[in-house]
A and B are shown apart, each in its own frame.
Chain A
């Protein structure tokens, strides 16, 4: 393949082809990572993000598949890495690693691996990918951690490879500190290999086009994306829109943790001020600034301009004020392993504020946050250790024109665990996984249904489990007259349901019952098409009693036929009662 003469001014067609190629290279990094990693969360849950940066650390392109938290954090990670190791000081074959929650994505399992890209002995860019690792040491399932020290090994920005040679000290340190270290090291290798693929693609592209530097490209890609996002923001009527959300978890004074935002839309800019949000707590749910930023930008992109490619231009559009020392910008050493229990609510917070002005663009609150994750660790009967997760979620919120999806994760993107794979991986038994009737928030369009799961232990030895979930006290609220979805609950054996996420121990035959919440409804349930209510009743998703009480729809319990006159009477009566 011959190489073109050097140039930095690209004609519009070559420019767009090169831009598309950058995104495609980021996707290739992701594909390689997925193919070669051991971590279930990487390969099945896309719990990763891959990006391409110029030498000053500006993100030009990101993989289409990635998880919003890491996607939003990555740009700042690379900037921090370059602040410590200036581009000019890097050598070919260097690999930089970090997982420091404050610099990275808020908890230790998310490890960022970056590599400088060299072309003709000159550094021309950085490729970086992050992946959620299966273990980073620390106390297993520390749902009651009070400090980040309990949550695993923190790797400050360091070199994992130096000019192509492994940093053996660091590898040994890692190996000695994490469980399932073969897989963790294997995944680090997968991350390194994925970056190789990206670097090779980048150099090949630059050779083909004759491009000497990515800087001029960044100068065009980033402002153009920013302008498109700003144009979308400009469509929102100007004003100040505020909203607050109370979380299940309590602060040390016994009051619910409160998230508050004051959103100001002025022309094409947004500013979000989180003043009034609760102080950080000694619980593992604090969300570092990078994560708050990620989940502050995500809802705007999803509601307004979901097709725009991700780069620094997107993140430049939202101005943030997040007071230090709050749960949304905690200071060291606040714990944050289960930050998703809190950070996903930022999406609800922002959609709650936007609903005051553009309800048709947003989604009602979902029963899918906080994220529900069940961890189990122990030994097989032959003594080998195991660690296993079970992921499954509740229902999404409704929108103005459609029902919420039942059992579909949001706003993170973590696939459910295959029951059969789970049972091959761990001496556990999933005894039930089924929709919960009447768990969907009623509305003109209803929320998605929540689900019930029962998981028990088949193991001879005692298994430790960490159950996290939420909406134990109030279901996901409806929008625009829609009603709340069903509440969540976690019940161990036949005991009292937990009021918050907890750690428990399973002896053989012990079980946990999880009821995951449904999504909030949208619009007045009395205006729901009775045929849709009938369909839900026939499918056992809404009970006959629920149809009457929530929707004012009368259905004969024996024939499952709609009673039209009785429905009219019920609806008139319910409407009068609501006056």
Chain B
């Protein structure tokens, strides 16, 4: 590279808006752009947004270092069933696996429950006469003519893309590959996705479902990326285009075209990455990211800077917040909890006479009552306005005046009257309930994964995160809260600091008692080669690092935990003349026991352990740009804007709160609660007993104190 690149562009296509954040690496300042998403051809909105930014920074396309792109294209194609004409090829006798799912009910008391329609309907699910057994042996070779028969069926059905998911193909992909080879000759236009490439892991339903989604979206993603690359070239870009993956890394377009299913849930990931990043800078070991917007709240527990990764993702849910009501996608995904709690969440009284908040949301239209756009149902935002936390005249920086009287009337009518509470008490009730909903979801999330909540720091952002951080933080029992500047757009920053990274896996059920470290070393070597290839394709000249993970459990246990494989002694690693390089089995066993104990509080010394799936994460870290905006050491004017009455949860009454402007805080300034710190898109509540302090590098740290509520 002849000159030092100056810009990094993040671009996130959402359902409604396509958001851009352009970071000027020299100054650390960024530009924001927002255009309406163009559903027919999403690359048009990208082009429009770039044009808008180029008007302001004409030099940027030519000296842009890279473009990091997140898109809902994949998830929307699945939800709206707008993918390609897709077929499944299964082992003979098993074409119905996709539709049979796990045969379990996601709600034991719901006798009217329905499930997502299978992505590939039964007339497009074909069978290959073959069988591989659990140990990878070929029990029945592919029957003569069987491939040809299936190819004929695919042709007759007008299939564009096919998912081949045969039983035990993770253990031996020979039959899947034979099909692909025959198809390449006989039907070169046909896009073939093999389950042994996309997800070489045990459990046929999850593998089939994931492979089917990949096949379903491939033509779409391929065409989209081609259009996008053309448009970027026309705009004069000569830089890397990277796609955000569900697992938090970014990757080049080649891999994105082959395995687009990896892009499926990239949207919510930015926030978690950004929270982890700020945690690193702040020197915090455990971070709970708390991203609360208009409709949902998302949480993520980040231990020691590592994003938690799961392969239990589920999309296309019939009931958005009911686990089991969707379609599994077993790709590496940042492990978030998402619940129906946001500013727009609607409050009502249920059959038990209790306040119910969400998951229904008033959205942006009609929105909360206080928006004055026709909303008649009280929401969390209305409650916050009644309680004095929001300023009717400074919502979105004053761009919108809120109807405080309307909000009060609505809260009083719908919630207060039936419960014989005042409007203020009812508003407090709404807030308490939504805070408790979020807290219990976070608590469950941690109970399922293991971790120490009270020791963590809450990083709160999103439009409503800072507003609820105090209540949620106290209920979780954390001591400290971090609220970044520009909390409303914070999650977009995550895109800019994400490394090029890719995870590959393979199931190889191995009892540790009989494991051969050299064999494992060979398998890991193969995985590293595969992952490294994907990274090398996307970057040039960067050092690639590999992280080896073993998914392990006690023999017979179904749930595995991810254990970092201890690095071998330096002299034992690598291709050596005597080929002695080996995974240290004893050290791995100890690492498993330590991790298990950390997560569940105890470990067994009398049970055998096993590896189920091997994973390798390859990453290439470039220089990480500074994305936080520091507070000035000398403020030009006082940050104090006003004093207003707002609800004090301890005393259960209104007391005066100092109101400060976030962008006028000076480094190291301290503000004792009760106080409110406002910026354009977010409001931070500092309750009595808590102290907020502007950290020079660009965030406010709130230390909680006093009584719990």
A193 to B601, CA, bound (A): 9
Asked if residues A541 and B203 are in contact (CB atoms below 8 Å), the reply is: no
Q: Is A307 an interface residue (CB 8 A)?
A: yes
Q: Which of A482-499 contact B (CB under 8 A)?
A: none
Q: Which residue of B lies closest to A36 (CB)?
A: B600
Interface range, A side = 35 or more
Stretch at the interface among B34-42, B461-469, B487-495, B602-610: B602-610
**Cβ of B204 < 8 Å from any Cβ of A?**
yes
Q: Point out which of A36, A208, A413 has the most chain B C-beta atoms below 10 A from its C-beta.
A: A36
With contacts A306-B110, A418-B205, A432-B93 taken as known, whether A393 is within 8 angstroms of B440 at the C-beta atoms is no
Interface flags for A181-206 (1: CB within 8 Å of B; 0: not) read 01100100100010011000100100
B122 lies within 8 A of A540 (CB): yes
Do B509 and A424 touch (CB < 8 A)?
yes
Tell me which residues across on chain A come within 8 A of B447, comparing CB atoms.
27-28, 31-32, 35, 197
**Chain B contacts of A87 at CB under 8 A?**
none
Interface magnitude class on chain B: 35 or more
Contact B432 A408 (CB under 8 A): no
Contact call A43/B559, Cβ cutoff below 8 A: yes
Q: Do A66 and B114 form a contact, CB below 8 Å, given A406-B99, A415-B103, A416-B103?
A: no
Q: Are A183 and B440 neighbours in the complex by a CB distance under 8 Å? A: no
A469 CA to B263 CA, complexed, in Å: 43
A368: nearest residue on chain B (CB-CB)?
Answer: B103
> Could you tell me if B115 and A405 are in contact, using CB atoms closer than 8 angstroms?
yes
Give, as a whole number of angstroms, the nearest-CB distance from A286 to chain B. 24
Chain A residues with Cβ below 8 Å from B205 are: 418
**Docked complex: A408-441 residues within 8 A CB-CB of B:** 408-411, 413-416, 418-421, 423-424, 429, 431-435
Instruction: Please pick, from A67, A363, A409, A434, the residue contacting B96 in the complex, using a CB distance under 8 A.
Output: A434
- In the assembled complex, the Cα of A174 lies from the Cα of B35 at a distance in Å of 67
- What residues of chain A lie closer than 8 Å to B93, measured between beta carbons? 431-434, 454
Residue of B105, B203, B448, B601 contacting most chain A CB atoms (<10 Å): B105
- Nearest A residue to B607 via CB reads A182
Closest B residue, CB atoms, query A306? B109
Q: Are A186 and B604 in contact (CB under 8 A)?
A: yes
Among B112, B168, B428: residue with most chain A CB under 10 A: B112
Contact check, B558 vs A43: say whether CB atoms are below 8 A apart.
yes
- Minimum CB–CB distance for B435 against chain A, Å: 9
Q: How far is the CA of A45 from the CA of B104 in the complex (A)?
A: 8
Query: Please, which residue of chain A has its CB at the minimum distance from the CB of B103?
Result: A416
Q: Which positions 43-81 of chain A face chain B at CB distance < 8 Å?
A: 43-46, 65-68
Residues of A within 8 A of B94 (CB): 419, 432-434
| Residues 297-329 (chain A) with a chain B CB within 8 angstroms | 298, 301-303, 305-309
- Minimal beta-carbon separation of A352 from chain B (angstroms): 14
Instruction: Knowing A24-B444, A28-B447, A540-B122, say if A420 contacts B437 (CB, 8 Å).
Output: no
Query: Across the interface, do A423 and B429 meet the contact criterion of CB distance under 8 Å?
Result: no
- Structural contact, A421 and B202, CB atoms closer than 8 A: yes
Judge if A570 is at the interface, Cβ distance under 8 Å.
no
Given contacts A32-B600, A38-B557, A431-B93, contact A302 B122 (CB under 8 A): no
Distance to closest chain A CB from B501 (angstroms): 27
* Docked complex Cα distance between A19 and B601 (Å): 27
Interface-located stretch among B54-62, B186-194, B348-356: B348-356
- Within 427-452 of B, Cβ neighbours of A (below 8 Å) are at 428-429, 432-433, 436-437, 440, 443-444, 447-448, 450
Residues 80-118 of chain B: 1 if any A CB is under 8 Å from the residue's CB, otherwise 0? 000000000000011111011111110111111111000
Inter-chain contacts of A539 with B (CB < 8 A): 121-123
**B234 partner residues in chain A, CB cutoff 8 A:** none
Grouping DSSP codes into helix (H, G, I), strand (E, B) and loop, the B interface class, with mixed when no group exceeds half, is loop
- B104 near A12 with CB under 8 A, answer no
Q: Shortest CB–CB separation between residue A449 and chain B, in angstroms?
A: 9
Partner of A16, one of B114, B354, B599: B354
Stretch from A146-154, A158-166, A223-231, A275-283 that touches the partner: A223-231
| Contact of B477 with A by CB under 8 A | yes
The smallest C-beta distance from B392 to any residue of chain A, in angstroms, reads 24
Q: Would you call A89 an interface residue if the criterion is a C-beta within 8 Å of the partner chain's C-beta atoms? A: no
- Cα A406 to Cα B102 with chains together (Å): 11
In the bound assembly, the distance between CA atoms of A239 and B433 in angstroms comes to 41
| Closest Cβ neighbor of B449 among chain A residues | A35
Does B558 lie within 8 Å of A40, measured CB to CB? yes
Judge whether A17 is part of the interface by a CB distance below 8 angstroms. yes
Asked whether B524 is an interface residue with its Cβ less than 8 Å from the other chain, the reply is: no
Q: Which residue of chain B lies nearest to A396 when distances are taken between CB atoms in the complex?
A: B111
User: Known contacts being A32-B600, A306-B109, A392-B103, is A405 close to B114, with CB within 8 Å?
Assistant: yes
How many Å from the CB of B113 to the closest CB on chain A?
Answer: 7
The distance in angstroms between the C-alpha atoms of A409 and B104, with both chains bound, is 6
Cα(A38)–Cα(B558), bound, Å = 7
Q: Is the CB of A24 within 8 A of B440?
A: yes
For A44, the chain B residues whose CB sits under 8 A away are: 102, 558
A416-B554 in contact given A31-B447, A32-B447, A36-B600 (Cβ < 8 Å): no
Contact for B102 among A12, A416, A423, CB less than 8 A: A416
B113 touches A435 (CB 8 A): no
Known contacts being A32-B600, A434-B94, is A186 close to B203, with CB within 8 Å? no
Q: Does B530 have its Cβ within 8 Å of any Cβ on chain A?
A: no
Docked CA distance A506–B626 (Å): 67
The answer to whether B602 touches A193 (Cβ under 8 A) is: yes
CA distance A451 to B425 in the complex (A): 56
Residues of B contacting A532 in the complex (Cβ-Cβ under 8 angstroms): none
Q: Is the CB of B556 within 8 A of A21?
A: no
Chain B residues closer than 8 Å to A508, beta-carbon distance: none
Tell me the minimal C-beta distance from A12 to chain B in angstroms.
6
How far, in angstroms, from A19 to B354 measured CA to CA in the complex? Answer: 10
Closest to A207 in B: B708
Closest B residue by C-beta to A415: B104
Inter-chain contacts of A432 with B (CB < 8 A): 93-94
Residue B239 interfacial (CB < 8 Å): no
Contact of B351 among A37, A46, A308, A431 (CB under 8 A): A308
Indicate if A34 sits at the interface (CB-CB under 8 A).
yes
Checking A1, A21, A36 against B436 with a beta-carbon cut-off of 8 angstroms, the contacting residue is A21
Of the candidates A40, A413, A451, which one forms a contact with B108 in the assembled complex, judged by CB atoms under 8 Å apart? A413
Interface set, chain A 205-236, CB cutoff 8 A to B: 208, 224-225, 228, 231-232
Is B134 positioned at the interface, with any CB of A under 8 Å from its CB? yes
Inter-chain contacts of A306 with B (CB < 8 A): 107, 109-111
Indicate whether B419 reaches chain A with its CB closer than 8 angstroms: yes
Whether B569 is near chain A, meaning CB under 8 Å from some CB there, is: no
A399 adjacent to B103 (CB under 8 Å): no
Partner of A418, one of B203, B354, B437, B602: B203
- Is A461 an interface position by the 8 A CB rule? no
Q: Which residues of A contact B706 (CB under 8 A)?
A: 2
> Are the CB atoms of A540 and B123 closer together than 8 Å?
yes
Whether a CB of chain B sits under 8 angstroms from the CB of A528 is no
The residue of chain A having its C-beta at the shortest distance from the C-beta of B206 within the complex is A418
B139 within 8 A of A: yes
Q: How far is the CA of A204 from the CA of B476 in the complex (A)?
A: 11
Q: Which of B587-627 contact A (CB under 8 A)?
A: 599-602, 604, 606-607
Whole-angstrom CA separation of A197 from B443 in the bound complex: 11
Q: CB-CB < 8 A to B110: which residues of A? A: 302, 306
Instruction: Report the bound CA distance from A402 to B114 in whole Å.
Output: 9
Give 5 closest A-B pairs by Cβ, nearest first. A432-B93, A306-B109, A24-B440, A539-B122, A416-B103
Q: Which residues of A contact B (CB under 8 A)?
A: 1-2, 4, 12-14, 16-17, 19-21, 24, 27-28, 31-32, 34-38, 40, 43-46, 65-68, 180, 182-183, 186, 189, 193, 196-197, 201, 204, 208, 224-225, 228, 231-232, 298, 301-303, 305-309, 362-363, 391-393, 399, 402, 405-411, 413-416, 418-421, 423-424, 429, 431-435, 451, 454, 458, 538-541
Q: Give 15 A-B contacts (CB < 8 Å), ordered by A residue.
A: A2-B707, A17-B432, A19-B354, A21-B440, A24-B444, A35-B559, A208-B708, A307-B351, A415-B103, A416-B103, A418-B203, A423-B134, A433-B97, A435-B96, A435-B122
Other than A16-B354, A44-B102, A434-B94, give 5 A-B pairs with Cβ distance below 8 A.
Answer: A16-B429, A28-B447, A305-B351, A407-B100, A424-B134
